[in-house]
Amino acid sequence: MAKPAKRMTMEQYLRSNTDHKEDGQNAALVGMTAAAFKKTPQAKRIDREMVSLLNRTSTKGRRR
């Protein structure tokens, strides 16, 4: 029997390389440093949505 995929927590996502790359790209688009961008409400909303999306797609095959 296959093991179920683990759900990603916000803490895990914030430490991931994906988040660091995404923050750098978004910060460059708006002309801010990555550290300054990370503190904005928009960055926090993007992070919450990404974690939600990753968790929805990791369980998609198991839902009935």
Q: How many CA atoms lie within 13 A of 41 on its CB side?
A: 0
The whole-number pLDDT of residue 61 equals 62
Helix 17-30 × helix 41-58 angle, to 10°: 140
At 12, which amino acid appears?
Q
Q: How many CA atoms lie within 13 A of 7 on its CB side?
A: 10
* pLDDT beyond 80 at 62: no
Number of residues that make up the chain = 64
* pLDDT beyond 80 at 57: yes
Percentage of the residues of the chain whose pLDDT score is greater than 70: 83
| pTM reported for the whole predicted model | 0.76
Least confident of 11-20, 28-37, 50-59: 50-59
The whole-number pLDDT of residue 29 equals 96
